[in-house]
Amino acid sequence: MSILIGNDTIAICQGFTGSQATLHCKQAIEYGTNLVGGVTPGKAGERHLDRPVFGDVKSAVEKTKANTSIIFVPAKFCKDSINEALDAGIKLIIVITEGIPTLDMLILKIKADELGSMIIGPNCPGLITPGVCKLGIMPADIHKKGKVGIVSRSGTLTYEAVDQTSQIGLGQSSCVGIGGDPIPGSSFIDILKLFELDDQTEGIVMVGEIGGTAEEEAAEFIKSDISKPVVAYIAGVSAPAGKRMGHAGAIISGGKGTANEKFLALENAGVFTVKSPALIGKTISDLLNFKK
């Protein structure tokens, strides 16, 4: 098993013929992902990467029975693209694009909840279930099929966690980048829930960062609902207040959202925290071996 994407995934790509989409869809197909086509307005009827191009999501879904969409559309058109995917009944929408206005995400999040669809991202590296399905921009070769579930607000820190858990022999069940924006489509809690239910996942790595209170909320949830061991790292202990650290959501404002507060909340919830991202792999490995 795995979470969110796997053998049942039938994926399309919105913004299919763009250069980034082309690069990453090509890799996804080579990886074995069931990517059945894509959408680019005005290019209906053409073929791209040996797959059909549709003019809109609705006709793509009708023809392909797609249940998942990965979006590479520029930020200013993303609201329309996500709306289109939601209206067409897509249940899992992965948004790679960075720079979507916050108020757009507020509206889209409410709509997705009402429709029972899940948005991953925006501003995220996407999803991978090693050995089975890849929908994202992560380098495939560092991944290894295995037992650790990874959920993270940062792309490159996810790669660190992946690389370390592969090197140490544990591998990953699924890896989910929830993205660095203030209003993500899915929260840590949404993903933790799925890892808890997934048989393949034996331990969980959670990578957070400064800004907001998503990690504190996750800590409460872990305390009450997660039985599997969790290792967490929070980036930005050394970040100053009031400065946005690259990600739109990575900012300590009004004295709230510091890494130390988050570490404390997680430790109080029984989570094993590491102060250096270089220690993620070793710590989860020690925990899983100790459990045996």
Partner 1 sequence: MNLHEHQAKTLFKSYDLPTSNFFVANTVEEAKELAKKLNVSKWVVKAQVHAGGRGKAGGVEVVQSLDDVEIFAKKWLGKNLVTYQTDKNGQPVNSILIEEYTEILSELYLGLVVDRSTRSIVVMVSPEGGVNIEEVAENNPEKIFKASVKIEEEASDDDAKRLAQGLNLNSEQTKQFIDIFKNLSKLFIEKDLALVEINPLVIDDKNKLKCLDGKVSVDSNALFRHEELMTLRDTSQEEQRELEASKWDLNYVSLEGEIGCMVNGAGLAMGTMDIIKLAGGFPANFLDVGGGVNEKSVSEAFKIILSDQKVKAILINIFGGIVKCDVVAEGIISAVKEVGVDIPVIVRLKGNNANIAQEILTESDLNIIFESDLSIAAKKAVELSK
By CB under 8 A, tell whether 260 contacts partner 1: no
Could you write out the DSSP letters of every residue in the chain? --SSSSTT--EEEETTTSHHHHHHHHHHHHHT--EEEEE-TT-TT-EETTEEEESSHHHHHHHH---EEEE---HHHHHHHHHHHHHTT-SEEEE--S---HHHHHHHHHHHHHHT-EEE-SSS-EEEETTTEEEESS-GGG--EEEEEEEES-HHHHHHHHHHHHHTT--EEEEEE--SSSS-SS-HHHHHHHHHH-TT--EEEEEEESSSSHHHHHHHHHHHH--S-EEEEEE-TTPPTT---SSTT---BTTB--HHHHHHHHHHTT-EE-SSGGGHHHHHHHHHHHH-
Stretch that binds partner 1, among 2-10, 35-43, 84-92, 151-159 (CB under 8 A): 151-159
Bridge partners (DSSP) of residue 12 are 37, 69
By CB under 8 A, tell whether 156 contacts partner 1: yes
Answer for which of 59, 91, 182, 193 binds partner 1 (CB under 8 A) is 182
The mark string for 71-100 relative to partner 1 (x by CB under 8 A, - otherwise) is: ----xx----------------------xx
Q: Which is nearer to partner 1, 66 or 100 (CB)?
A: 100
The least distance separating partner 1 from the CB of residue 86, rounded to whole angstroms, comes to 15
Q: Determine whether 247 is an active site residue.
A: yes
Answer for which of 117, 247, 273, 288 binds partner 1 (CB under 8 A) is 247
Q: Which is nearer to partner 1, 130 or 211 (CB)?
A: 211
Stretch that binds partner 1, among 47-55, 204-212, 220-228, 281-289 (CB under 8 A): 204-212
By CB under 8 A, tell whether 44 contacts partner 1: no
Q: Which class for 254: exposed (0-12), middle (13-18), buried (19 or more C-beta within 10 A)?
A: exposed
**Which residues within the stretch 3-32 sit at the binding site for partner 1 (CB under 8 A)?**
23
Instruction: Please give the size of the binding site for partner 1, defined by CB under 8 A.
Output: 62
The mark string for 215-244 relative to partner 1 (x by CB under 8 A, - otherwise) is: --x---------------x-xxxxxx-xxx
Q: Which is nearer to partner 1, 60 or 78 (CB)?
A: 78
By CB under 8 A, tell whether 139 contacts partner 1: yes
By CB under 8 A, tell whether 270 contacts partner 1: no
Q: Which is nearer to partner 1, 194 or 235 (CB)?
A: 235
Sign of the dihedral through C-alpha 82, 138, 189, 273 = negative
Q: Which is nearer to partner 1, 116 or 255 (CB)?
A: 255
By CB under 8 A, tell whether 155 contacts partner 1: yes
Supply 125's token pair: 């590296």
Q: What backbone phi and psi angles, to 5 degrees, belong to 206?
A: -120, 125
By CB under 8 A, tell whether 254 contacts partner 1: yes
Active centre residues (catalytic): 247
- Sites of contact with partner 1 (CB under 8 A): 23, 75-76, 99-104, 106-107, 109-110, 125, 137-139, 142, 152-160, 163, 180, 182-183, 207, 209-214, 217, 233, 235-240, 242-250, 254-255, 259, 275-278
